[in-house]
Structure 1
Amino acid sequence: MFLSACVEWLYQDIHPRLADRVRAAKADGLDHVEFHLWRDKDIDDVAKALRETGVRLTSFVVEPRRSLVDPAQHGEFLQAVRESLVTAARLGNPPLVVASGFTRDGVSREEQRAEAVKALKQAASLAEAAGVMLVLEPLNTKVEHPGMFLSSTSEGLDIVEAVGSLNLKLLFDLYHSAVMEEDLEQVLRGRMHLVHHVQIADMPGRNEPGTGVIDWQDQLGRLRALGYSGAVGLEYKPTLPATESLKAARQATGL
C-alpha cells in the first residue's frame, strides 16, 4: 500500500493553486495525489505540475454530480461522465469517483438500486471505451451526507457486481465505513477484488490519522490481509501544517 495526498485539503492553507499543492506533495515525498471537483480547477496548470513532478493522480470526481437513482437525471449524469473522461485524458486517465445521489421519497429501495445499476452500466461502457476506471463511493449518512442513498459498503459491492464491468469498482472510504459502524472484515471479506481505491480519515472529526479512535495499524493490516495493495488516499481535514500532518499520518498508519 502507498499514500495518496488529497490536495483538495492538504496544503490549501499555503498554496491557493492546486498545481502548487501537487509540487508540495512531491517535495514531501509523495508520488500520488487526488482531489475532488475539477471544473473549478486550472486543469492545464495541474497537468503541467503532474508532468513536471512525475506525480500520478489517483482520483477525482465526476461532475456536475447527478443522481444515479433518479432516471430523470441519467442523461445529465452520463454527459458529466463524458466530459469528465475528456478531462481525465488530460491528467493521465485516473479513476473517476461517482456517488449515488439522494434517496427518493416514496420510491422503493429496490427500484432505486435498479436505476443506479442501469445508469452505471451505461457509464461503465463509456469508461471502458476510454480506458478509465469508475469508482462508486458509499458515503455516511450520520454526519456529512444525510439522505444519501448509498451508505453501505455491502450494498455498494452488490451494485458493482450487478453492473458486471471491469471498469467499475468500489471506493472504500474507511472513515465513512467507520461512521456507519461497519465491520471492515465482514463487509470486505471475499470481495476485495471489487475494491479499487481506499481513502482514510480519523473519527470523530475527519482529521488526520492519530487524532481519533481508529487503530490504523490494525485496520490497514486487515485490509492488507484481505488482499488490498493499492493507494490509501489521505482524504482528511488537517489540524496541523501539511508537512507535520503528513508526518503524523505516516506514523499512525505505518505507511
Structure 2
Amino acid sequence: MADKLKRRDLIKNLGLGAGILGFSGVANAFAGTSVLIANTGKDSDLSGKINHSVCRWCYNEIPLDEFAAACAEMGIKAIDLLKPSEWDIVEKHGLVCSMATDDFANITEGFNDPENHEKLQSAYKGLIKKASDHKIKNVICFSGNRNGMDDETGIKNCVKGLNPLLEYASKLKVNLVMELLNSKVDHKDYMCDHTDWGVKLVKRLNKPNFKLLYDVYHMQIMEGDVIRTIQENHQYINHYHTAGVPGRNEINDSQELNYPAIVKAIYNTGFTGYLAQEFIPTYPDKIAALREGVEICDI
C-alpha cells in the first residue's frame, strides 16, 4: 500500500507539473518507474478484487482505440457508456462494454412519463438485442424528470413502462440498470435522485434483471451516508460510479470522499460487478489521472 501511495503522489505531482516540464521532462521523470502514464508498456499490478471500469465520456478527446489500449494495459477490464458502434473497438483490446447506451437514452425524458413508453420500449428492445448479441450484460436507463410528478405516480409509471422490457431482456440475459443522479447540482428535477426512491422501484418491479447504478458522487451530494447506504441496499445495486465531491474531478485527497473505505465496503458486500471511474480529469495527462483513480480504488 505504501508503494501505491508513493506512485499516486508521483502521478499527481507530475500530472500537475506536466505543463511546466513538457513531454520530455515528464518522460524523463518517469524513467525507471513502473507507473503507466500512456500506452508505453504493460503495468498491471492490481489486486484482482475489484472489476475496474471507466466511463468513456470523460475521455472523449482521446481516440477510443488509443484509450482502450491504455485501459487494457493498466488492468481496467471494461469501459462504460459505449454505443453499439463502439463495442467492436474495445473488444479487440480484450475489454467489454460494462454498461451499454445509445443516443436515444435520455436523462430528462424517461420511464416516469407514459408518453415516452412506446418510443422507449421500441428503442430499448433494439439496444437490448444488440447487447445480447455481444454478450453485454448491462443497459442503462433513466427515470426522467419530475415535471411536477409525485414519487408514487413516478414509480407506478416506471413499473408500467419497464415491465414489458424486463420480460424481453430476461430472455436475452440482459439487465436494465437505472442510474441514481443528483437533482441538486447536475440534473435539476431528475426523479430517481435518492436511493430510497430507486430501491422502492426495484422492489415494486421485483425482477432480478432490474437494479440500480449507485453513483457515489451523485448520492454524496443528495444524501451522504454512503457506506451505510451501500451496506443496507447492496442487493439492489448492480453497478457503481465514482467522482470527487465537490467538482466531479479526481478522487484523490483534494475532495471529501474516502474512496478506499467506500470501495472496501462495496467489496465486503460480496459485489462482483463493475466499479467505473466517472470523474472529469483535470491533470494535463488524463491517463495518469485515470491510473491514480484506479489505484486509489484497488483495495
Where on the TM-score scale, by shorter chain, does this alignment land: which range? 0.7 to 0.9
Contact 2:231–2:266 (Cα < 8 Å) also in 1 = no
Contact 1:20–1:49 (Cα < 8 Å) also in 2 = no
Does 1:98 find its partner at 2:144?
A: no
Aligned to 1:81, what secondary structure does the other structure show? helix
CA distance in 2, matches of 1:74, 1:7: 27
- TM-score when normalising by structure 1: 0.88
Does 1:254 find its partner at 2:298?
A: yes
Match of 1:142 in 2: 184
Contact 1:102–1:147 (Cα < 8 Å) also in 2 = yes
Match of 1:23 in 2: 69
Contact 1:117–1:159 (Cα < 8 Å) also in 2 = yes
1:250 CA drift (Å): 2.9
For 2:121, give the aligned amino acid: L
Does 1:155 find its partner at 2:217?
A: no
Task: Write the mapping of 1:48-59 to structure 2, written as runs, cut at 5 A.
Answer: 48-59=88-99
1:94 CA drift (Å): 3.2
Aligned to 1:9, what secondary structure does the other structure show? helix
1:125 CA drift (Å): 1.2
1:252 CA drift (Å): 2.5
For 2:219, give the aligned amino acid: S
- TM-score when normalising by structure 2: 0.76
Contact 2:98–2:136 (Cα < 8 Å) also in 1 = no
CA shift in 2, pair 1:135/1:191, >3 Å: same
1:63 CA drift (Å): 4.5
CA deviation digits over 1:161-211, x for unaligned, max 9? 110111111111111110113312443334312211111111111112114
Structure 2: where are the runs of 5+ without partners?
1-49
Which residue of 111, 132, 142 corresponds with 1:89?
A: 132
CA distance in 2, matches of 1:20, 1:194: 35
Aligned to 2:177, what secondary structure does the other structure show? strand
Does 1:79 find its partner at 2:79?
A: no
Aligned to 1:122, what secondary structure does the other structure show? helix
More moved, 87-96 vs 150-159: 87-96
1:62 CA drift (Å): 5.2
More moved, 115-124 vs 21-30: 21-30
Contact 1:62–1:96 (Cα < 8 Å) also in 2 = no
What is the aligned-residue RMSD (CA, Å)?
Answer: 2.0
Contact 1:63–1:80 (Cα < 8 Å) also in 2 = no
Percent identical among aligned pairs is 22
Match of 1:47 in 2: 87
For 1:6, give the aligned amino acid: C
Runs of 4+ in 1 over 6 A off after TM superposition: none
CA shift in 2, pair 1:63/1:125, >3 Å: farther
CA distance in 1, matches of 2:110, 2:87: 29
Does 1:33 find its partner at 2:82?
A: no
CA shift in 2, pair 1:75/1:213, >3 Å: same
CA distance in 1, matches of 2:145, 2:80: 24
